Structure formats: C-alpha cells, structure tokens
Structure 1
Amino acid sequence: MDTRRLILFVIFSMSILMLWDAWQRQHAPAEVVQQVSQTVDSVPNQPTNAPAGTITNAAVDHDYKLLAGQRISVTTDLYKADIETTGGDLRRLELLKHRASDNDKTNFILLDDAGKPMTYVAQTGLVGADLPSHKALFTSTATSYTMQDGKDSLEVRLSWAGNGVTVDKVYTFHRNKYAIDVNYEIKNGSEIAITPVVYYQIVHDNESNQGSALMPTFTGGSYYTESTKFKKLAFSDMAKEPLKLTSNDGWVGLLQHYFVSAWIPKEGQAREFYTEKLNDRIYRIGSKSTLSTIAPGASLTIPARLFSGPQTKHDLQETAPGLEYTVDYGWLTVFAAPLFWVLSKIHGLVNNWGVAIILLTLLIKAAFYPLSAKSYRSMAQMRELAPRLESMKQKFGDDRQKMQQAMMELYRTEKINPMSGCLPILLQIPVFIALYWMLLGSVELRHAPFFGWIQDLSAVDPYYILPLIMGASMIIQTKLNPKPTDPIQAKVMTWMPVIFSIFFFFFPAGLVLYWVVNNIISIWQQWYINKSIHAEALLKKSGGKH
C-alpha cells in the first residue's frame, strides 16, 4: 500500500466509521434488563376499582388520544408552558432562549400535544384507592402564572379531592434552571389507610425529531442507574421487548438532538422503569414506585424533578447523576468528552465558539505534529521519487510484477518506507471522529455566531463559502502530494475535492470550520516538509556541496 492508497483508505475508513457509528446510534439493539414479576406492568392502565398496588396489563390502544381539560399558562425566564388540568400534564413547553431553527425567529417547541407532527408530553399520576391518575381532573386557583421580577421561583398548584383524600400536585419553576420540581402532597382524610403508587412518564411519537439522512441523530428513550449506567432505547426496541427494570436510583427520559426530558424520582426511592407501545406511533417510557402506607389523618409529600431543556453539560451535571451522558458521543466518548472540556475552557477565554474551534484545532494539530510530520515526510519523499516511478512505469509497461520489484528495490536504495506514514494517520482517526461527534452533538454551538455571515455554527453555511474554501484546500493538498502513477487513482484524487465539497455543503458550519482550519494548517506543514525534503534531495544529488 503506497501513501496515495493510504490516503484514500483513511478517508474511506473515516466515512465508513462515521456512517457505522450513526447507524449504531439509530439501530442499537435493546439492552438485556432485569425482569420483574409478570403481575407488574404499566401503571396508567390500572383500573380505578383495582386494589392498591395491583397493576394490570392492557392491549395497545389504537384510538389513543390525550384527554382535554382546561389550559393553564405559565411564563418564566426560560419557559412558556401549558399545563392541562386533566392529569396535571405538562402538555406544551416553549423554550424562550432557543430559536426553532437557524432561519426562524420563533422559539423552539420542546413539548407539544398537537398530535401531528409531534406528540410529546410529560405526565404523572397516582394509582390506588381511586387516586388521581393522568386522566383525573384537577383544579387551579388561576389560569395564568408569571414569574415576577426579583423572584427566583414560581409555584403552580393543582388540586384534587375524592373519597376523603386530597392531593395537591405542585410544579415549582426556578429561575435560570431547566429542572422543574414536581411534588405530590397527599392528605388522607378517609377512614382507611392507603398505599399509593406514583408514576412519572413521558409520551412521544416515533416520527418527529429524527434528524436528516446525512446526519442521523437518535430520538428515543433512555434511562440510567448506577448498576446499568446510561442506556438508550429505540422505539422499535420498546415495541419488541418492553423495558422492565427495578432499581433504587436513576432516571428515565426521552432524547433528541440537542435536547432531553427526564423524570428524576425521589432519591433512594425504589422504582420500576417501564416502556409501552400505546399505538402504531405513540410510545411511553416511565418510572413507578410504591409509596409508604398513609394512615387515616396522615399526610405524605413525594418530591420529584423533571429536567426538560437543552443538553448543556453544566445543567445536566447539576441536576442528576448520569444525566450528562445524554450528550451522547457514542463509543468515542473517552476522546470526545475531554475535547469538549478543552473547547469550553477556550470559549470561556475568547467568548466565541468559532474562535474556540479554531484554537482547539491548533492545539490538536500541535499535539499530533510529531506523528503527522512523519506522514508528511513520507509523502514528500514519495513526491521526490515520482519522476523515477513514472520512468519505471514506462519502462516495464504492463508487467506489474517487475514494476513492483523495481519499486521495492528503489525504496530500499533510498531508505524509504511507504508504510511509515500509515500508523501516525491511523492513530489520529479516533480523535478526528470523536471531534466530529462532539461538534455535532454540542447544543452550545446551536445558534452560536462566529462572525459575518455565519450566525449559527450548528447550521449549514448559508452561502456555502466555507465548503468552497474546504474544496479549494483539498485541491491544494492534492497538488502537494505525490501524483499517482495509476490513472484511476489520479482521477479519484482529482474528483475527491469536488465530491467532498458537495458533502460539506450539508454539514454544520462548525464542522466545516474545523476541517478548513485543519486543512490550511496541514497545507502549511506539508509545504514546509516538501520544501525541506526537496532541499535534501538536491543536496544529495550535488554530493553534499552547497
């Protein structure tokens, strides 16, 4: 394998690895999970007359729909939310700090119960002794709540009463936080003890938020426990084998590109995670817990939290253990996580994510310079041998065996190892792919401006200037590399900049910016080494005379 073929191999391998990693993200097999008793299944299908703690299974409801009640609007510094009095569901969540798209001035809608194109709601409920599930009707003292200036929190209280039991479901929104407290306050005014089961679930369709064909992203369920660590569940896996897992810790959630919603039950409270297919396009993932018995005249408060917002590392780490893994870099997390840490530290100094990407690229190139210099030196040496190789090709014609023998003899005579550039390049591939996924998955780059026409590093360059520069830099690189003697290889190398430029037209500007800077530095390094090797060759020809 000569250096030209190695370059083709590396580029092809990186493309295949990226596609394979994307396919794995979208089609990862279902995890084998701990099975619980067959009498335990999804809480929301519990009949209202069933005894407390008894949960029954129900068939797929092809006519599934969300029940309507009265909307309660909530406005904070981060959210504009709609809470439904039926079940006290969080039915709609508009993120006031995030735009819908790169060219849209409207806010991003994370949760919505519109049905098409998206169904995505957060629900909770109680089961046992006719307690209020997500189908029960709550009341509220107001239909509109707004976080006041100078206040750090906003409380929204929903109430229900029946059979001597009163239940308050209390949402507490916090300033500058995407974690919402959702507490149940249960007062048993009846004459019998009750043992409620509380559940928290997220309902989502299997069609929306699926990403693009060129850059597929995962949308589906997820969960975390200390024993299982972070796991993902595709909707297809939920349909094949519903999740049933018991734990004393952890959370369940719903992932999509850049955003996550996760229910975090009370710390230390035993829980059972579950998934269920509700109809052909609607699924749910949740957690349920049997609470302690509430005696007549006694009360119980059950705290929980709902994180619903962007996958910013700081917010995720602050909210719950393991939630930071929802920023999923795949199998190269060991490289991608430190790269993001360095990138964020640089951003803290320069306050521009585009500049931070440029400086990170410089650091990576500096770190790999000893390895890459060896590769560039090998290519420069091959470039010097190109005229002699061309003469050999003309001499031996179609006799490939003699040509190969002559090439090996030439390499031995000149003390050149064409394979010496292989290992340095191969060692860099994991870092390059990790950087690719890190830049693709960082919500911090979403709508982050660089300068001039680039006002969103997560979106495509609107004028395709960076992809064109990228293509031009690849053409310059091919000119600096040794010219292939094989005409087919020569054609491939000629057309590759054009083909790759077309691909980069659809890549986020932040990714293209990285490759442009990387290529420009590589061009300078290759030019400098080519010049040095050429000077050495001339000196050798002259017998060491200057």
Structure 2
Amino acid sequence: MPAQAAGPSAAQRERFTVSTDVLRVTFDTEGGTVVRTEFLRHKADDKQSPFVLLDQSPERVYVAQTGLVGGDFPTHKTIMTAVPGDRALKDGASELVVSFESPVQGGVKLVKTYTLPRGSYAIPVKHEVVNTGAAAVAPQLYLQLVRDGNALPGESSFYSTFTGPAAYTEAQKFQKVDFKDIEKGKATFEKTASNGYVAMVQHYFASAWILPDGRPRELFMQKVDANLYSAGMITPLASVAPGATGTVDARFFAGPQVETMLEQIAPGLDLVKDYGWLTILAKPLYWLLDKLHGFLGNWGWSIMGLVLIIKIAFYWLQAKGYQSMAKMKAINPKVMALRERYKENPQQMQQEMMRIYKEEKVNPLGGCLPIMVQIPVFIALYWVLLSSVEMRHAPWILWIRDLAAPDPFFILPVIMTLSTLLQTALNPVPPDPMQAKMMWFMPLIFSVMFFFFPAGLVLYWITNNILSIAQQWLINVRMGVPPEFNLPKFSKFTK
C-alpha cells in the first residue's frame, strides 16, 4: 500500500501550471503530483472555458500521484523542488519538459520528469531513483489515481454511463469496478500482471497510468478516505547499488475518449470507451461513422448516412419481415371475423386461425424474427453515439448546436414520436385487444424518454423510422396490399 506520510523537508510547497497546444496541467510540488488538467480543445458545459478532468478543489478530488515504498523513501507526500524551465510549449518546439527533485530520504533521491509532447494527451513520466547512501536499496514505485466517488454534474437519469476505476490486462481484458464494490471489499480484478494499465473512467473522458509491457506490477483498488478511492499499480525496481540510479518509465494519460487516438497510445486503452458486450459490433460501426465524417464533415449527416448504410445492408432481411406483415395485414379481416364468430370458444378460434395461417402460408412471427436479428446492431449503434466524445458540442443544422445535448426546443423528439406512431399505424392490428392497446401505448411511453436523450441519438432513431416507413410502404404496394393507417379506437380500449 502506498505510504501516506513523509519526513520533513526544507522545500516550500507550491503549485504552478504549464501548457501545450492541447493541455494545461497544474502540478503540486508535494510529490510532483498532477492536481488539475484542462483540455484546451474541449470546452466545459458552459462552452466557454476548457474542460477540466483532474482537479483538487472543494468541489472535486481527482489527482495523479506517484512515489516510492519499501522503506523511508520519497512518496507523494514529500515536498519536492521544481527544476527551473519553460512553463509553456514554445513555437516550433516538439515537447515541454517539467522535472521535480526530492530531498534525500532514506538514502534515496527521487527525480520525476514529465515530458509533454505537442498535440498529445499521453505524457511520458520518468522516475529516477538515485542511491546516495552506502548500501544497496530495492524500492518499489507506485502510480495511482485518486478520485472521490461523487456523481458527475449533469448526469441523466434516463441513460447511464460508467464512472469509476478500471483495469486492463491481456489475460482478463477490460475490468470495470464500481466504487460501491471497493467500499464493500468486493472489487474483482486481476491483481498481478506484466502488462496493461489502470484507469479512471467517466463519460467521454478518462485518465490512466501505463507501464511498459513486460514490467511486473501489482494492481490495487482501495478506499483511502471517506468517499475517496485509489486505483493504481506497484512495480519493483532492481537493486540499486550505492551511487547508482534505477529508472522506471511510465506514461500518464488524461484526455478525451477518441477511439482512434487511444488505439495508438497503448493496447486496450481504447476500451475505456466502453461498449460492453456489444464491442464486437460497436467498434466497426464507429469506424464506419468516423470514415463518413471524414467525407461529410458533419456528425449529424454522418449519423444519418450510417443508418442509411445499415438499412441497405439489412434491406432483404427486413423486407422479409415487412412482407410477412403485409400478408398478415391482408388476412387480418378474416382473422378478426373468426375472433368475433368464435369468441365464446377460444380453443376452436385458435384452431381456425392456425388453419388460415397454413392456407395463406403466413407465419405470425415472420415479421418479428428479421427485426430481432437487427436489434443488436442498432443497440450497438446507440452505444457508439452515446459514448463518442466527438458528438459533444458538435452542431448539425439550425437549432441543433450540440448533438450530445437534448434538443432545446424538443422538435426532434416530437418528430420521432410522430414517426413512431406512423410506423405503428402501418402495422397490422393484433387480434388480441390487449396487444392492440399495447401496440399504441408502448411507443408513446417509450417516446417520452427521447425528450431527454441527446439530439444525436434522437436523430439516429428518426432516420431509422423514416427509412423503415418508406421500405414498409414500398413493400406493401408491391404486394398489392395498399398502405392504410390502422388508427386506434380508444373508445374500445377503455372497455
């Protein structure tokens, strides 16, 4: 467990901020800790100031710390000295270097060097352990992210996203851990590995400590104080002889969950953008969405284009479903007549209905099965749109200035509701009165949630509805079943 205290130091504690073209980072000389990160290309919810991820303030505790254990060595509580140097990335420079030196403690001096590259959210961090004593030392280096368990401001109650620690190893892959499981001592994750990372994840953004593959490490997640949790790794150094220096290279990431960028930083880091069990479908959908954006230059039109491509890909499968529904609609008068004739004899009614289905070669479930096959694809697309930071503050047209926020005038949710009801009206009326009621009530109930959903998600659903209506209309006409609207008879519903 990382040490929580250190010996006295003559250095004076201070904070200072450095900046690159994409990052503004605030350091604390207590431990050379990262106490604030601001993303200059991503705005806060007010769309004025940069987005802040890590922060140490009365409202938030979220910091990145490192130090040594295994003796009376420098820790994240040791007051270090900042080496003089540039505090802003100069024009033409490729990187900005920030270094800290600890006082000698336990015969050891710790030198910590952050290298902030231009255009990058991944920061190499070199830890040099200088043995100034007369005996060999073998300390261990810990790297940890410490965060409070508070919910994020503005979280929606209509859809959930994960906030908390996570770990990745090649053996166990991506492992999320709830704060409440840490609280109860029930956190489940791989404890030892020679690869991977630990992270803190939230909607759209993440931070992580990454060690090189092949270096052994112990992973930990623990409660460190009231409503304060840490996730990190401990890695041993080889014995450092007197006068020698041992080095451990690591990387600290703090930035947006841009999938293509994360894939380039470390294996598995792209999984902090969590699609769950639908990852195998969601990743190619995101890839295609990203390619469409590269061509169209607008995320709203890209969403509509992706839905169109999916509809084309599933055209023949969905056509089978609509053909089956058209057949059901054609024989629906016969079915309704049977229900009226045999309403006092349910068993006979079922037998007669099955006879009609057989004679007309109609499968009552034929319209459902093709649609069921497509559901995982559209759920995966839902998660792609909900998880992609590219939608955040991205405009579409006119009044839609942020695809990740609800429609401010509720125009898209109203259109979505009307299109859902239109699609329902084109479907055959179920013989069962209760099913007929539910056929109308469920879309209305479901549509209420869309008034609070991000505009990008509603746009995707509207596009799918309109294309489905067009396809259903076309198939009905081709099969000689003129489209008609089966409007609800609410007077019957109340009986």
Same fold (TM over 0.5): yes
**Alignment partner, residue 198 of structure 1:** 141
Q: Aligned residue for 1:156?
A: 98
Write out aligned runs for 1:174-323 (5 A). Answer: 174-209=117-152, 211-239=155-183, 240-241=185-186, 245-323=191-269
Aligned with 1:428 (options 371, 374, 385): 374
SS in 2 for 1:447: coil
Shift of 1:375: 0.8
CA contact (8 A) 1:43 1:199 kept: yes
Q: Report the alpha carbon displacement of residue 45 of structure 1 after superposing the two structures with TM.
A: 4.5
Q: CA deviation at 1:144?
A: 7.6
Is residue 2:267 matched to residue 1:324? no
SS at match of 1:306: strand
Judge conservation of contact 1:81–1:93 (CA < 8 Å) in 2: yes
| CA positional deviation for 1:404 | 1.9
C-alpha distance in 1, partners of 2:360/2:431? 19
Cα distance in structure 2, aligned partners of 1:206 and 1:144: 35
SS at match of 2:145: strand
1:481-537 CA-to-partner distances (Å, cap 9, x unmatched) read 112343333333333343232111111111111111111011011111111222699
Residue type of the alignment partner of 1:136? T
Cα pair distance change 1:452/1:129, threshold 3 Å: same
SS of residue paired to 1:161: coil
Q: Deviations over 1:16-60 (max 9, x none)?
A: xxxxxxxxxxxxxxxxxxxxxxxxxx12248879xxxxxxxxxxx
1:394 has 2:394 as partner: no
Q: 2:492 maps to which residue?
A: none
Question: 2 CA distance for matches of 1:331 and 1:535?
Answer: 40
CA contact (8 A) 1:255 1:326 kept: yes
Q: CA–CA distance in 1 between the matches of 2:460 and 2:195?
A: 40
1:362 is the counterpart of 2:308? yes
Offset from partner CA, 1:97-156 (integer Å, 9 cap, x none): 11222x54222110011143x211100012245321000001124598111122121111
Letter in 2 for 1:43: P
Matches of 1:475 and 1:225 in 2, distance apart? 47
**TM-score after normalising by structure 1:** 0.83
Alignment CA distance shift 1:282-1:413 (3 Å)? same
Would you say the 8 A contact 1:75–1:147 is kept in 2?
Answer: yes
- Asked if 2 retains the 8 angstrom alpha-carbon contact of 1:73 and 1:144, the reply is no
If the length of structure 2 is used for normalisation, what is the TM-score? Answer: 0.91
- Structure with greater contact order relative to length (CA < 8 Å, sep ≥ 6): 1
Deviation at 1:270, TM superposition (A): 1.4
1:505 aligns with 2:451: yes
Deviates more, 1:299-308 or 1:479-488: 479-488
| Cα distance in structure 2, aligned partners of 1:331 and 1:389 | 41
- Aligned partners of 2:75 and 2:6: how far apart in 1? 10
Corresponding residue pairs, total = 476
The letter for the 2-side match of 1:146 is A
Q: How many Å apart are 1:391 and its aligned residue?
A: 2.4
Give the 5 Å matches for 1:26-175.
42-45=1-4, 69-101=13-45, 103-116=46-59, 118-142=60-84, 145-162=87-104, 165-175=108-118
Structure number having the greater helix percentage: 1
Out of 453, 459, 464, the position equivalent to 2:399 is 453
Deviation at 1:231, TM superposition (A): 1.2
SS in 1 for 2:3: helix
Aligned to 1:52: none
Deviates more, 1:245-254 or 1:395-404: 395-404
Structure 2 Cα separation of the partners of residues 502 and 382 of structure 1: 29
CA distance, structure 1, for counterparts of residue 310 and residue 113 of structure 2: 49
Q: How far, CA to CA, are the matches of 1:208 and 1:171 in structure 2?
A: 30
Distance 1:488 1:104 in 2: 48
Q: Note if contact 1:474-1:497 (Cα within 8 Å) is conserved in structure 2.
A: yes
Letter of the aligned partner of 2:221 in structure 1?
A: T
Structure 2 counterpart of 1:93, one-letter code = T
- Distance in 1 (alpha carbons) for counterparts of 2:86 and 2:3: 28
Correspondences of 1:465-544 after superposition (within 5 Å): 465-534=411-480
Deviation at 1:471, TM superposition (A): 0.8
Report sequence identity in percent.
46
2: distance between equivalents of 1:301 and 1:175?
24
